[in-house]
Amino acid sequence: MSVYTQLTDEQFSAFCQRFGVSFARAIPITQGIKNSNWFIQTADDVDGAHSYVFTLFEERPPADIEKMAVILNQLDGKLPVAAPLALTDFDESAASDTASCDKSYVIHYEGKAITLVPCLAGSHPQETTQAMCQDIGAALATLHETLQALQPSEEYGVPLYPWDEVRDREMKFMPGDEAKLMNDIWCSYSDLPLSALPQGLCHLDMFADNTLWNLSLNHSQKGEDRLTGLLDFTEVSVEHYVMDIAITINDFCTTWGDADQGELVNFDRRKMAAFLQGYESKRSLSRDEKRALPVMLAKAAVIFWLLRLNVIHYNRTEGRTGDNIMVKNPDLMKRLAAYHWAHVEKVQSTVFVLLDMQKDNQIVGVFSDIMQAEQARDSVGNDSDLIIQKHTLDQLS
C-alpha cells in the first residue's frame, strides 16, 4: 500500500477534531504513488462504512494544497468533486497569504499538508467502455471551461514539473532505441505550433483510478455506468488543453494487461473517438489542437514513462523499500509511447503511389519520392493510363 508517513490513532483523532469530525478508525488506501491516504470512519459510521478521506501530501507544499481547495470549490456543483473541509479553529488574523483568505482547508504537519474531504460514492473501473470514455470527455471539457473563471490562472495552478531534467538523467541509462524514441517524440512535440494551442488550468492526471463510477452489472447497456467522482487535483497546472486530453485518452482508451497477460498494451481508437465526441459536446477543438493530438498522445505517454522512472529513482535515493511501496511499471507507458509514435510516423511519412486507371486504379507501385514514381510511369510508355497520387502511410493502411 502507498502510505509513507505513519500516524497514530491519537494523531488522527486530534487532526480530525480540528475539522469538526469525530474520529473512530483510519484505514490505509492502497492506490496512489505520491501521497499517504486513509479512509476515516467516524463515530457515526456503521457496518464498516467510512465518511471521509484523510490525505497527507508527501511532496506538495501546503500553499499548493490551499490553491487546490479553491479549484475544487469552483468545480463543486458542476462536476462530482469532493471539496476539502474547512478548519473549525482557523484564525483569520494569524493566517498567511493563501488562496482563500477567509477560510483554511489545510493542517500543517512537519512541513506537509493534511486535508480531509468527504467520500464520494462509486468505485474505480477495472475496464472502461466507449460510453464511459464519452462521459469523461465531456467532464474534462467542463473542467477546462469552468476553471477559466479563475484568473490569472497561473496564480492557481502549480508549476509544471521539470520533466526535461528527468529525461536528461534517465536517457543516460537507456538502451539506444529507447533513448531515440524518447528524443524523437520530444523533438516532434517541440516542433508543434505550441503558441497557437489554447491553454488553461488542466487536471493532468485524469486516469481511470482517479475517477469513481456507479457501475452497472451489464456493460452492454450504454449509459448505465454513471460518473460519480473526480479525484486527485494535486497536479492542476496551466497547460495546453490538448495535453490534458491526451493524458486522459491514454489511460481511458488503453487496456493494460497484467503480468499473467504478458503486460500487453492495447489502445482502442474507437474509445478515443467516443472520448473526443464527448469532449466536443462541451468544448470544440481547434484545427491546431486536432493536428497536434497524435504527437501529444506520444508525448503524454513519455511524461508518464518518465514519472514512473522518477518514482523508482526517488524511492532508491530516499531508501524507501518494502511491501508498502507501490511502483507502476514504466515499460507500459514506453510501449504506449512507441505505439503512438508509430502512428505519427505514418502520418508524417509521404509516399507516391502509381495507379493504373484502366484497372480501377489498381496500385502498380509505391515509391518514396516523386522521381522514382515518374521513372516507373515513363518506363511503361506514353500511351499508358498510369497516374501518380501522393499519400501518407496511414491513408494507405
Q: How far is CA 174 from CA 169, 170, 334, in A?
A: 10, 7, 12
Residue 308: what pLDDT?
93
Q: Per the structure block, which three cell numbers stand in for 257? A: 494487461
Residue 137 predicted with pLDDT over 50: yes
Q: How far is CA 32 from CA 41, 263, 308, in A?
A: 20, 20, 12
Q: Per the structure block, which three cell numbers stand in for 169? A: 538523467
pLDDT tier at 205, thresholds 50, 70, 90: very high
Residue 98: what pLDDT?
45
Reported pTM: 0.78
Residue 216: what pLDDT?
76
Q: What is the pLDDT of residues 37-87, one digit of tens each?
A: 999 999 899 888 889 999 999 988 888 898 998 899 899 999 999 999 989
Which residues lie closer than 8 Å to 299 by C-beta, 6 or more apart? 185, 186, 188, 189, 243, 246
Residue 173: other Cβ atoms inside 10 A:
10
Looking at the DSSP bridge assignments, the partners of residue 38 are 28, 54
Q: Per the structure block, which three cell numbers stand in for 137? A: 470527455
3-state secondary structure of 26: strand
- Mean pLDDT, range 11-28, rounded to an integer: 95
Pairing state of beta strands 254-256 and 362-367? Answer: unpaired
Angle (nearest 5°) at CA 184 between 271 and 344 = 35
Q: What is the pLDDT of residues 373-386, one digit of tens each?
A: 777 787 876 556 88
- Taking the C-alpha atoms of residue 230 and residue 202, their distance in angstroms, rounded to an integer, is 13
- Taking the C-alpha atoms of residue 358 and residue 360, their distance in angstroms, rounded to an integer, is 6
Q: Which residue has the higher pLDDT, 33 or 84?
A: 84
- Mean pLDDT, range 9-32, rounded to an integer: 91
Q: Per the structure block, which three cell numbers stand in for 206? A: 485524469
From 60, 105, 103, select the one nearest 82 (Cα to Cα): 105
Residue 228 predicted with pLDDT over 60: yes
Q: What is the pLDDT of residues 270-318, one digit of tens each?
A: 999 999 999 999 999 999 999 999 999 999 999 999 999 998 888 888 7
Q: What is the pLDDT of residues 88-128, one digit of tens each?
A: 986 655 455 444 456 788 999 999 999 999 999 999 998 99
- Taking the C-alpha atoms of residue 140 and residue 155, their distance in angstroms, rounded to an integer, is 21
Residue 166: what pLDDT?
95
- Taking the C-alpha atoms of residue 118 and residue 212, their distance in angstroms, rounded to an integer, is 13
Residue 222 predicted with pLDDT over 70: no
The one-letter amino acid code at 226 reads R
Residue 180: what pLDDT?
96
User: Could you tell me if 268 and 254 are in contact, meaning their C-beta atoms sit under 8 angstroms apart?
Assistant: yes
Which residues lie closer than 8 Å to 68 by C-beta, 6 or more apart? 84, 233, 234, 236
Q: What is the pLDDT of residues 336-369, one digit of tens each?
A: 999 999 989 876 666 677 787 777 778 878 776 6
Peptide bond into 152 cis (omega under 30): yes
Q: What is the pLDDT of residues 161-200, one digit of tens each?
A: 999 999 999 999 999 999 999 999 999 999 999 999 999 9
